[in-house]
Structure 1
Amino acid sequence: MTDNSVHYYNHLLEITQQALVRIRKKIYSIGTLRLCWVILTLTVLYFLWGYNTGIIIGVIIVGIACFLGMMRIHDRFFARKSFLEAKISICKKELQLKRYDFEGIDTGKEYIDPTHDFSNDLDIFGKKSLFAYLNRSASIIGQQKLVEWITHPLTDPDKIRNRQQAVEELSLLTELRIDFLANGMTSRESKTDAQIISELSNDSPIYVSKWLHIILSFIPWIFGILILMWIFGVGTGNYILFLFLTCFCYATILSGRVSRTQNKLNEGLKSLNTYAGLIEQLEKSEFSSSLLQNIRTDLHTEGIPVSSRIKQLGKYLRNLDQRYNAIGFAILNGFFLWDFKQLAAIEKWIRNNGKFLPGWIETIARFDALCSLATFRFNHPEYIFPVLNDNDNPVMKATELGHPLIEPERCVCNPVEMLQRPSFLVITGANMAGKSTYLRTIGINHLLACIGAPVCAKEMQLSPCKLFTSLRTTDSLSDQESYFFAELKRLKQIIDRLESGEKLFIILDEILKGTNSTDKQKGSLALVQKLVKLNAAGVIATHDLLLGSLAEKWPDTIENFRFEADINDNELSFSYKLQPGVAQNMNACFLMEKMGIIPKE
């Protein structure tokens, strides 16, 4: 397949930059027009001053109305400007990552966990990590969902196939994905929003008593009756004034409590507006894959679009904001007990919709995470979706398997083949010959396959199962734990989980690095034999050539492969190509002699 993504992003960047220039001109024009309108209105008032009061009031009303209308247009232009700037940022980021330039890219370092089954070993988080390369989240909840998928990959082939279909379909809807991401980038979401929304769904901070509900229902009618009585001379205006002052004083006395409630509502419910634009985009989209159809269906609660419900809530919250205007506070609360009317409406909204809030958040997060995987697919049309097996035949088989974080011109691809369980590949070879990279290549493509993403291979078959690695065990000063003991604890985890019946795909690099060679050989041989008996499968890299003898004992279960270092004309070179058998050449002494660390023999 031809990779047209670079051309697409360059073209989109160009036309978006042109649109941004036009919108900036409109913003300047509407700003100038507003200023001119103010000057014109003041000039007209100056010349009409002293004329009929009704005319002056009319001019003022028209002037203010037109000015507010231009303000709304101005705000829409500014929102459009922010949206276009976000799209430009997206295109530049995509082009940057196509060059494998990770400068300024979110590393996800807060998710690094040395105790995780595989993430620390495979560079899933951190600088130049898989997360940095995959993440295109429009929201914090989407990013958290992507992290959840990466750290807890699927093992059910049917669920993975459903996700593959959704990723494939969504990869063709690039405009939808970019607009979705741009809308998310222009929001003001915080990391605590989802938690606050969840708390509000279970415990509303509002309580409007039953008697106050009754008063709110009747007070407009009471004022209407009193005003009619005053007009027809049946009553005096004192009744109206008394009721007005009573309502105003009540609202003033309780304004502190209302303010505290409003602040809590603004922290949580206003953040729903962050997701409203994202939800509306999904509601307007049509999908064919079952997973995306389910996501869209989940956003029609009881037949009413979620975006409509959120817009109604936004209206109540904006109405409540009118209390910040002193004149508005006095008039609206004096006649309508406005603050409590809006709180009652919000309370009713939470009562009717609160139970759905966590589900809405989850739905947005899932779609957002799918967008990240779909963008990865769009950017790599040459990658393939692996064939998934429901049994262990093969456990893993691939041709031209490469590491997705290595530039294509530098990436050397190799095969992998494990046709049954138990099954192990023992990889030997010289330093820097490619063993560790090969292990990480297998691990990261296994992970991509299990999260429903395409893999860097020409062909691939996989039986999904849990992945466990031990490549870079570290010591812990805080726990007074040695490097060697930390590795033993990790190996013990593997054995315990296999004995409990878990099916694992295991990747180990240099077993028992922290002990002497004789002890290491004995322990390594015993460990591999134990893993075979526990029906495990995986790959082991080692400098210990004695492990290659295990293939003689289990020829159908263990295979030897090697990465060789070639020394020609006193120069060291590597092909990084996997070859059958046990390694023949080692390079440690050669390099130490060449660097002058030890004398030449």
Structure 2
Amino acid sequence: MVKTKEAILIHYQNQIQAQQNKVEGLVKKLNQVSLSRLGVFIAEILIIALIISQGYHWIMGLLLCIPVLIFMVLVKKQVSLQGELRYARKLFWIYQNEEHHLVDRKNGYDDGTQYQDEYHPYASDLDIFGPLSLYAVLNRCKTTKGMDLLARHLEGPLERTVILERQGGIEELNKHIDDTFHFRAQLQDHESGQLGIIEHKLAHELELQLRFIHAKLLRAYVAFVPFLTIGLLITGSFLGGVWWNLLGLVAVFNAGLTFFNLKAINQVYYGFSGGAELLRAFSGTIEWTERVQWKSKYIRDFFQPEEDSTPVSRQIKQLSSIIQAFDARLNIIVSSFLNLFFLWDLRCTVRLDKWYTSSSAHILKGLYRISQFEELISFATLNYNEPAWVYPQIQEKFDLKALDLGHPLIEDGKRIVNSYSLHEKPTVDIVTGSNMAGKSTFLRTVGVNMVLAFSGGPVCAQALSLSIFNVLSYMRIKDSLNDQTSTFKAELNRLKMILDSTRVQRNSFVLIDEMLRGTNSRDKYLGSKVFIEKMIEQQTPTLFATHDLQLSEMESEYSFSVRNYHFDIQIADGEMHFDYKLKHGACKTFNAAILLKQIGLSLKD
């Protein structure tokens, strides 16, 4: 049974409340642990005071150890609770973000402003990137590669087989939607560039940086030094004297050895610093993807047959453990002690080298898999949040049939839907109508849904069947002071791009909104007419919105190649009413005179 949007919203609100309750419960537990630690600390002081006043006895020594052990257990418990609390807060944010998205279309993820390109064939005109864009609605990615993948899939049509496979993958992820929220929660604190830094280090830097640790003598001493230190410590405790001096000499030698290799150690460590928790999160996300028996081909192709029997998630967890140990150098006191007696930094470097040598060749593929899942989860989340939307049928032959097509970026209560179909052969469909009647919105509705369809996502329609088109648009044409480009020159550049593209791409689909605004009305009409004739000659399907009624007269001359549509208004008692419904034929009612009259200008016959 398909959930309604109201049921989905209630589900999110219930999850938000559950996570809020969990956060409050964990905070209470943490406060209790903190008070218990304080109590244990006070108990330890009292025992010490009792020993001082009553004298030492072996029973007192035993009592002295008990609070220390309890304190260590409490510290471990506190660390565990803090981890649970951080995760509960991240999951709370995930559900709250989805609630906000359903209620007021707000999304806390990146809006894709960095991908904006006014020279792209359609991205700027169709609001694909930036605030209040399709990308802003879709995106649920935190990694740079995930965001790049999402942008790339919105920038041009995929092949038909890939689109169909992606539909299957998105649909399968939709069945695991609650798991995807946990997947996203583990990445919530991730800064977009962090994964890229680690990937670059593993792929291009680490092998060379680890070469210094391959010296056999150095490696042998690093392996032997813990036994040497502990042996001298035990011997010195019983025999004292020269053995303590020997331990001191070993510590000085270790300090010199660490300092001599410090530059090389720092190079190895750079890029991993503080990354242990992030790697653990990556390990958790990948582990989930490895557990599920995926059925869709698109998702199965994310995985390659492993050369090593060790799952990628475990390899990443091992790397996380090494980096966590390496992070001890962030505390100068702890670091000094460990390096003086155990050559800690060099030991971590040896462990890292062993991991690098034995790790699967697919480790980078495993990390990239996170971004692949993120990108697909973005579409699955849209699919889940919009249960009334449908997957389009992707046809091999020329086709476009839309039933109740709506604009994906307009709210449900305000969205007006229209049905529209292409003729069995390409035509130029001229859309006339009044200002604000809905021409531009209709063109964008067709274009944005095409972009969604060609990326494998669901579309805002009751039904949509279409073949693959290369979408080209001409809508928001602006001048540029920096490029010394006038509006008219910018329009000519855009037209040239469209003409060049349609000449070589036989499956183009063109969206034109009021052509040649930067010139006089006669040249505008003649230029528009010759452009339409060019599209007819090339058999390029075109949606052409215009205020120029003369262009609608071309239907009589090109009865099989031109069709007229319009958006009109109803005027009652001097008031305008828009229904935003697409109708056949040329427009007969315009509103410019009424709008001018409202600002004090009356047109004379």
Per the normalisation by structure 1, the TM-score is 0.90
Q: 1:7 to 1:264 in 2, by over 3 A?
A: closer
- Aligned counterparts of 2:58 and 2:320: Cα–Cα separation in 1: 36
The count of corresponding residues between Structure 1 and Structure 2 is: 595
Measure how far apart 1:411 and its partner are: 1.5
The equivalences for 1:461-480 within 5 A come to 461-480=465-484
- Aligned counterparts of 1:176 and 1:574: Cα–Cα separation in 2: 44
Match of 2:547 among 540, 543, 550: 543
The equivalences for 1:253-268 within 5 A come to 253-255=260-262, 257-259=264-266, 261-266=268-273
Aligned match of 1:443: 447
Aligned match of 1:194: 196
Q: State the secondary structure of the residue aligned to 1:391.
A: coil
**Is 1:210 the equivalent of 2:215?**
yes
Say whether the 8 Å CA contact 1:564–1:583 is kept in structure 2.
Answer: yes
Measure how far apart 1:401 and its partner are: 0.5
Q: Match for 1:16: what amino acid?
A: Q
Measure how far apart 1:371 and its partner are: 1.1
Aligned match of 2:403: 399
Match of 1:160 among 135, 160, 163: 163
Aligned match of 1:577: 581
Aligned match of 2:38: 35
Q: Match for 1:561: what amino acid?
A: Y
Q: Match for 1:321: what amino acid?
A: D
Aligned match of 1:522: 526
Say whether the 8 Å CA contact 1:201–1:354 is kept in structure 2.
Answer: no
The equivalences for 1:111-510 within 5 A come to 111-154=115-158, 156-185=159-188, 187-204=189-206, 205-206=209-210, 207-211=212-216, 212-219=218-225, 237=243, 242-255=249-262, 257-259=264-266, 261-266=268-273, 271-295=278-302, 297-298=303-304, 302-324=308-330, 328-329=334-335, 332-353=338-359, 356-392=362-398, 394=399, 396-501=400-505, 503-510=507-514
- Aligned counterparts of 1:299 and 1:383: Cα–Cα separation in 2: 36
Q: State the secondary structure of the residue aligned to 2:301.
A: helix
Say whether the 8 Å CA contact 2:275–2:323 is kept in structure 1.
Answer: no
Measure how far apart 1:14 and its partner are: 2.2
Deviates more, 1:269-278 or 1:70-79: 269-278
Deviates more, 1:94-103 or 1:431-440: 94-103
RMSD: 3.0
Measure how far apart 1:430 and its partner are: 1.0
Q: State the secondary structure of the residue aligned to 2:285.
A: helix
Measure how far apart 1:305 and its partner are: 1.5
Q: Match for 1:303: what amino acid?
A: S
- Aligned counterparts of 1:103 and 1:348: Cα–Cα separation in 2: 43
- Aligned counterparts of 1:195 and 1:258: Cα–Cα separation in 2: 17
Match of 1:17 among 12, 17, 20: 20
After superposition, the C-alpha distances for 1:174-199 in whole angstroms (9 at most, x for unaligned) are 211211122221x3434254145224
Identity across the alignment (%): 29
Q: 1:421 to 1:70 in 2, by over 3 A?
A: farther
- Aligned counterparts of 1:279 and 1:62: Cα–Cα separation in 2: 41
- Aligned counterparts of 2:291 and 2:40: Cα–Cα separation in 1: 38
Measure how far apart 1:279 and its partner are: 1.6
Per the normalisation by structure 2, the TM-score is 0.90
Measure how far apart 1:311 and its partner are: 1.4
- Aligned counterparts of 1:252 and 1:567: Cα–Cα separation in 2: 86
Measure how far apart 1:475 and its partner are: 0.8
Say whether the 8 Å CA contact 2:97–2:106 is kept in structure 1.
Answer: no
Q: 1:289 to 1:423 in 2, by over 3 A?
A: same
Measure how far apart 1:75 and its partner are: 2.0
Q: Match for 2:279: what amino acid?
A: L
Say whether the 8 Å CA contact 1:201–1:357 is kept in structure 2.
Answer: no
Q: 1:553 to 1:352 in 2, by over 3 A?
A: farther
Say whether the 8 Å CA contact 1:299–1:360 is kept in structure 2.
Answer: no
After superposition, the C-alpha distances for 1:526-563 in whole angstroms (9 at most, x for unaligned) are 11221233332231111122222333344333321111
Measure how far apart 1:477 and its partner are: 0.6
- Aligned counterparts of 2:76 and 2:517: Cα–Cα separation in 1: 68
Q: State the secondary structure of the residue aligned to 1:397.
A: strand
Measure how far apart 1:160 and its partner are: 0.6
Q: 1:570 to 1:326 in 2, by over 3 A?
A: closer
Q: State the secondary structure of the residue aligned to 2:356.
A: helix
Say whether the 8 Å CA contact 2:97–2:108 is kept in structure 1.
Answer: no
Q: State the secondary structure of the residue aligned to 1:555.
A: coil
- Aligned counterparts of 1:550 and 1:109: Cα–Cα separation in 2: 40
Measure how far apart 1:382 and its partner are: 0.8
Q: State the secondary structure of the residue aligned to 1:457.
A: coil
- Aligned counterparts of 1:259 and 1:195: Cα–Cα separation in 2: 15
